[in-house]
Every structure is written in structure tokens, then in C-alpha cells.
Structure 1
Amino acid sequence: LLLDKIRFLCKRSLFGFVDTAFETRKILGLHGVVNNAGVLGNTFFDDFLTIEDYKRTADVNLWGAIRIVQAFKPLVKGRIVTTTSICGRYALMGTGPYTVSKFALTGYCDTIRTELRLFGVSVHVLEPGFFTTHLTSRKNVEVGFLAALSCPEEVKLEYGKEFFYKMRKKTFWLLGLMSSRQINHVTEAYYHALTAVYPRARYHVGWDSILVFTPLSIFPTELQDLITRILLLVMKIPSPALVSQKVKSF
């Protein structure tokens, strides 16, 4: 009930602001709107998650962005800029709710890009890789892992303690290895999308987005899966306990 009340107040505040904007800017309109709000949500394999995990993440990452666009669209005369993610282009295991919301948001942006072009409004998407932000902080990711442990006991037994903690450890290692501290690359992409004479429809931001995930996303699916299996072997990720028959309780 509290969450529903907060959502209602946020919507009322948003549309109240839009009404005021209509009154004060009804002649000039807005040059652009930027969508950059997002949450990671609970993470880990789908067996550990619930429908509510997916809904909560989508409520911010997808529905929140759509609400903003639909509220401000009548005012926009120039550009709509939205942050999706490399997870909206290439699915990473263990990030189900986040990846699903970003794929859907990418689809939404692709749809309205063709529709709004008829009115002279352009739509631009930023696809950043991993950056050192609150989203990828150890504390934030740890919350998602701990939430996953509320899954049924039989799920824990199927995967086993070794699998869970090894995946957790490797996740933190990968985030530390791949996350860039050069946040300015993202803000510069926003600025270019809003102000450039010839902005790009898509911005691949970060070395991992440019060199790793974007190329991977255009590979045949079978090759993508093969690369994933090779990486799991290289990283020495154990098989789930049900597969290896080494069941250890949490």
C-alpha cells in the first residue's frame, strides 16, 4: 500500500509539473528530455527469482521511462534521449530482471523513434557498458544476492552452496575488472545527443560496450552460447550441485 501511494504521488507530481510546463513553455516547448533513471534490482539465476523481482525492476527501468516520455512528449520539439544498457543488446546470465527491462526499453525506443520522426522529433539511445556507479557498487549488488537466498530450499539444494558463492565471488571480480571510472564518457554522450547537429541514433559508451558486447550481440546465437561456455570454463565456475551431485546446504 505504501509503495502504491508513493507511485500515485510521484505520478501526480509529474503530471502537475507537466501542466505547469505547458503553461509556462507552451510557445517554445522543450528541446529535449533525458531518461536516465534505473535500478539493478535483485540478481542471480532465474530459479532464485520471482515475478515480483521482474515487476519491481521493470516499474522503474521500463514503465518509469515510458511514463516520462508520454508525459513530456507533447512539449518536446527536438530530442528524446534514453539510457538503456549493453544488457539491452546482449543478455548476461544472472541479470534477468535488469536485462528484460532493458531489452523492452530498447524496443520501446526503437518504436517511438520511427513514430516521432514524423513530427520532427528524434530519439537517441545510450548503451553504456559497466561504470563505477551506485548501480554496480558492491553494496548494491550484494543486496540482490542476499535477496536471492529467500528462494525455496529445494532450489538452494539444486544449485548448491559452492555454485552460489563462486558465482558471487566472480561477479564482484568481473565488476571490479570491467567497470570504468570515466563517468564523463556517459555525460558527454548525453551532451552530444542533445546538442550535436548530427547526433547518433545509438551511442555505445565504454570500452566494453564498444569492443566486447556490441560485437558479441551481432554474432550468431550458437556462437554467443559457445563463447559463454568457454568463459565459464576459463573462470572455473562449478556446475550446479544437481549436475555434479555434490549437494551442500546453505
Structure 2
Amino acid sequence: MINGLPETLLAGIQAINQIFTAGIAITAFSLFLYSLSFNLRDRVARSFAIILLCVVVVFAAESLQDNTASIPTLDLLMRLQWFGLAFLPAAYLHLSDALLVTAGRPSRGRRRFAVRGMYAVSAFFLLLLAFGYLLGPIVPDGKPAPYLQRTGWTEVFTIFYVAAMVWAGINFLRAYNLMLTRSGRRRMLYLMAGATAPALGSYPYLLFGYALAARHQFLFWSVAVVINALVGA
């Protein structure tokens, strides 16, 4: 094998991932600005705009993390990602509830109360982030990329994140089943597929999988490229 070829291929995959990440941030920001032209009193439009804003924050901060950034800058950017990540679970549940209402299953107050509670929990995690409890110190020489160490609160947030996404997914399925027309179900299916990718692509998996990723860097970056391609599709 040609000397240096694996490193060149790995650098190429990382560059592609960086391009996809920046593209997602730009596209999401454009869609966010476009969504502001809709009636934000509509719950679907409002919740979708919040998701887009969260995605912009996550991927814009990630796209700025390159080899030229200093360690303090990387640390700041990684923490800024969590400003968007913290509110994604609540925003997804908000969207799923709005879709249920649109599909003909209005809330009797419990779902709306749950959505507000989820935003309150997200705000609590944001406070933990601000005071340094949610995330640990940066590992600047981590492989395959620098990452932040997790804390006990990180694991609590991960449970919250997964539970909220599963709950939102169940609501999406309920809304899909309530659709009476084929075109309505098709639109709902497209929305469900499009909503899944950002939920999967936004979470920083290196918090938990850094050991495995360090041993299989090609696999890690290849999967990252595929996920980001799905998010940007």
C-alpha cells in the first residue's frame, strides 16, 4: 500500500464531513428564515422553526471545529452545540403534539402541559451547562477528534433525550394513523423521515463511544458522513 494513503483517505473523509456539516448549518438557517414568513401562531410552523434553530446552532458550532481552532475555542464551540441540543427533545415533542392536533386529535391539556414541562426541563439542562455540571473538561488530543468528557448529568440528559425522541416518534405514528387520505399519509411519512435524521445526527456520540471510535476511525468518520448526508438530504 502506498505510504500515507490511509491518512490521506481519512483526511478526505473528514473534509467531506466538514463540508456536509457546514452545508447543513447553511441550509437549516435558510429554512429557518423561510419559516419565519409563515404564521408562527400556527403550532406546526412554530415548533418546526424551533427545531431548525436548534439544528442551526448544533451544526454551525460543529462546522467551526477544525484543526486550526485553539483548545479554548474548541471547548467553547463544543459547549455552544449544547445550546441547541438541549432544546431539541422539547421541540420534537412540541412538533409531534402539533401534528396530532392537525390530524384531528386535539390536546385536552395534558399534552400541552407535557410540552411546556419538557421545555422547562430543557432550560434546566441549559442552566447545568452554563454552570459546568452538564459536561466535563475537553479532551483535546482525543481520537478520532477532541471531545468533552461526560458527567453524571450527561447520562441523565441522554436518557431524557432518548425518551423524548421515542415519545415524539410514537406521536408521529399516531398522527400518521389518523390521516385518512393517501396523500396525507405520504406527507406525514416524508415529515417523519425528514425529522428522524436531525434527531440522530445532532447528538455528540463521542461522549460515550470515544474508545470504539478511536479504534475504528474510518468507520466513525464514514458513519458521520452518511448521517450528515441524510440530515442534509
Q: Which has the higher strand share?
A: 1
Q: Which has the higher helix share?
A: 2
Computing the radius of gyration from Cα coordinates, the structure with the larger value is 1
TM exceeding 0.5: no
TM-score, L = length of structure 1? 0.29
TM-score, L = length of structure 2? 0.31
